[in-house]
Amino acid sequence: GGSPATSNTQHPFVRWNNPGFYDVSLTSANIFGSNGINAPNFIEVVPLPNINVSITRGSPCGGQPFTLTATGAGSYEWYDQRSGTLVFEGPSLTVTLYDDWEFTVLGRNNLGCASEEQFVVSISGPPTPTITQQGNQLVSSPANGYQWYFNGAPIPGGTQQAVNIQGSGNYIVEVFGSDGCAAISEPFLLDITGTSEPEDISATMRAFPNPTSGAVQLEMDNHIQGELTVEVRNSLGQVVAQQQAEKRTERLSLPLSLEGLPNGLYVIVVEHAAYRGMKRVVKR
């Protein structure tokens, strides 16, 4: 039954913990006597929504969109667990994540009864691959599958752990884990012309946000000073944007724009008289 089981107030508040139909008895009295009435099955207590969330499209791979769908209620609100902010209203939410996400879904039935459940999406994917040179081949760190790129274009047949060197230029390897998730290496610069190779400064560079819808901020933190040439190259290695920059201090923050360019993989190339660095950026 309900709690409290009895009350002498005109409008009592009663809590039932289990769904079902419940009887109610009312007795009224005055100076002339009392009277009562029994109402069988007068109160119907409906179950609270039982919220479940499943992945209905895609896989929880880092940097790749997938869809979460909630069931068990009539309406849904999605909240970020850490900040407590409402991020979406509706049954299906498509997200692109790079780290595990803790979230809460609040569901209501058609009577307005609400319940909430907490969930965690674990993001999977292989480690970021590394590239090393062994003789006339480039070798990736181990993975389940591979796709090599030379100057942004896929190398035909380049689906093994090692690939033959195609010439001087920029190499990237995309690796795949057992769950189908992918990771992309940092660009590997190779110069086989016999001339002095510029020192690679990619590790001192940062490009964000990544992925981006258009605007990119390029940051550098190193000892290099002087005139820099900054290029944006597409997947074919073609220069689609270029600008000059003067670096006078250790830190440089430079805004770039991919507005007007099609979605895809781009490589930001920074060149100096004795240095070169690259960062890959995905536009979505």
pLDDT in tens, 206-247: 999 988 999 999 999 998 888 899 999 987 778 899 999 998
Strands ordered across the beta sheet of 275-283: 199-200, 275-283, 264-271, 226-233, 239-247
pLDDT in tens, 176-196: 988 888 888 988 888 776 555
3-state SS assignment for residue 9 = coil
Closest CA to 114 of 77, 69, 154, 159: 77
pLDDT at 205: 94
Question: Mean pLDDT, to the nearest integer, of 57-84?
Answer: 91
Say if residues 19 and 45 touch (Cβ distance below 8 Å): yes
pLDDT band at 2 (very low <50, low <70, confident <90, very high): confident
pLDDT at 196: 54
Going by C-beta distance under 8 Å and a sequence separation of 6 or more, which residues neighbour residue 11? none
Distance between CA 262 and CA 236 in Å, rounded? 13
Q: What does the DSSP 8-state code read for residue 155?
A: P
- Domain 199-283 belongs in CATH node 2.60.40.3080: yes
Say if residues 2 and 16 touch (Cβ distance below 8 Å): yes
Pairing of strands 275-283, 199-200: parallel
pLDDT in tens, 51-61: 999 998 888 88
CB neighbours of residue 125 within 10 Å:
20
Of residues 118 and 187, which shows the higher confidence score? 118
Phi/psi for 4 (5° steps) reads: -75, 160
Tokens 């009392």 -> residue: 34
Residues of the chain with CATH 2.60.40.3080: 199-283
CB neighbours of residue 131 within 10 Å:
18
Question: Mean pLDDT, to the nearest integer, of 16-43?
Answer: 90
Q: How far is CA 23 from the centre of its chain?
A: 51
Residues of the chain with CATH 2.60.40.10: 52-121
Which CATH superfamily is 52-121 part of? Immunoglobulins (2.60.40.10)
Distance between CA 215 and CA 85 in Å, rounded? 26
Closest CA to 177 of 102, 123, 99: 123
Say if residues 117 and 124 touch (Cβ distance below 8 Å): no
Percent of the chain, pLDDT > 90?
A: 52
Phi/psi for 21 (5° steps) reads: -105, 140
Distance between CA 104 and CA 82 in Å, rounded? 10
